[in-house]
Chains A and B, each alone.
Chain A
């Protein structure tokens, strides 16, 4: 593990050096290929005056809301599908139809139906999270060992007890991998939705921030936004999900 991060650090340094040398060489105009110094100055400036922090907070708050709503809905729908054959047919059909549909394809429609506000972005996020989560949860529920249902019968658990004591924890590895896919998808959907939907009171999230920087041809600003997006993406994937795994499925020996 340590080794992985050391390697990454080395390669990031090498790539950064390469970038900086290219910028210094004068091969491209610094208007379209800014040096790292300019990028970091832009980043620092935006962080200091609070504009970037506000956009980060906006983006993160929307994505967290979307994830929570979608996760709750996915859990309820997957559980319903598990216990009812009819619901299973319906939910399976809906998932099969909606899962392959990229959220971006829905944006024009959402724009007309819901306008361009926060609700619109939230809907795009929920769409991109809900289906992969349902798919993973259902797979997880259906692949728990038969022995668990026998134990539930034997110890006379009611449906709720069975759900919370056995079904959900037993399929936790599937839940986490679904959550990872959901996060990756929603993060992409969020940035593109923000670019498309623009801002309300100059608050439009990170996607909008980059888009706006492009309008003013502020390339260091564009790169500053990109760096923040990469940083948040890596942090969530490498730290938050890793921590979640360490404290659950890894501790339980469900993940080698």
Chain B
């Protein structure tokens, strides 16, 4: 079976004061369409670098990245990144305008002309998906951290790319809010046809969200194992199976 997104021999190193540091070494990975894949590993294992290579923000030193067997070399609206930083939202635009930004970019990319009203309607639809419709005229600085990430998530959805890349997007919010956001994301993924590649160092987050977990180690950054997560939705953090998987992953990462 040919895979949807394919990473072949991806490698990356950085020059540091102490010489060359290998961030990623021979990464091979096949990603299926509409799967929720988590890349899990300790800090410094190169998981964010790997995501940036998939996004096309940085280039791999060797190997290649294929989508539907086509070589990908640049960034694009088919692979939209959701960042961890709150400042990814444009502080000079209201919530709804932040989302319209993606709606317009997506329409332009697809060569579609939208009227002002259509743009507004689309933006509202995405804002509604993250349940923040009543905050459309707020400016980002008036929102809490969790709400900002919701808006950013709505903007990512509004770009209408097939693949969403997420670089620890819930890393900067408190644990209560993080769980709410994870809930929302799990639900959105089930409702929509999206491939999500999610980077995290939080094992529970990986277990709660994904269908498949890529375990990575550092120095050099390598894949150590692929773990399937077949727990049925809705997942319960307190269930025995959930915690079994958690412990299995934890042991695996410690060795």
Contacts and interface: CB of A to CB of B under 8 A. Distances in A.
A254 B92 contact: yes
B77 A156 contact: yes
Contacts, number: 59
Contact of B75 (A145, A153, A172): A153
Nearest to A256: B141
B105 A253 contact: no
Given A154-B77, A156-B76, A156-B77, A248 B92 contact: yes
A155 interface: yes
Nearest to B81: A154
A145 B85 contact: yes
A151 interface: yes
B80 to A, nearest CB: 6
A252 B102 contact: no
Contact of A155 (B91, B93, B141, B159): B159
Interface stretch (A51-59, A124-132, A162-170, A212-220): A162-170
Interface in B52-69: 55-57
A208 to B, nearest CB: 42
Contact of A252 (B75, B79, B105, B141): B141
Contacts of B105: 155-157
A151 B85 CA distance: 12
Contact of B92 (A145, A154, A172): A172
B92 A155 contact: no
B183 to A, nearest CB: 26
Contact of B57 (A150, A165, A253, A254): A150
Contacts of A151: 81, 88
A155 B101 contact: yes
A252 B92 contact: yes
B244 to A, nearest CB: 38
A188 to B, nearest CB: 31
Nearest to B79: A154
Given A154-B55, A155-B159, A252-B139, A147 B85 contact: yes
Contact of B91 (A156, A157, A253): A253
Interface string A134-159: 00000000000101001101111100
Nearest to B102: A155
Contacts of B159: 155
A251 interface: yes
B46 interface: no
B80 A154 contact: yes
Contacts of B102: 155
B109 interface: yes
Interface string B140-178: 111000000000000000010000000000000000000
Interface in B77-126: 77, 79-81, 83, 85, 87-88, 90-93, 101-102, 105, 108-109
A95 B239 CA distance: 66
Nearest to B109: A156
A169 B87 contact: no
A166 B81 contact: no
A157 B77 CA distance: 10
Interface string A18-47: 000000000000000000000000000000
A251 B97 CA distance: 15
Interface string B180-222: 0000000000000000000000000000000000000000000
9 contacts: A151-B88, A153-B75, A154-B75, A154-B79, A156-B75, A156-B77, A165-B90, A169-B92, A254-B141
Given A150-B55, A252-B91, A254-B91, 7 more contacts: A150-B57, A150-B83, A153-B56, A154-B76, A156-B75, A156-B77, A253-B140
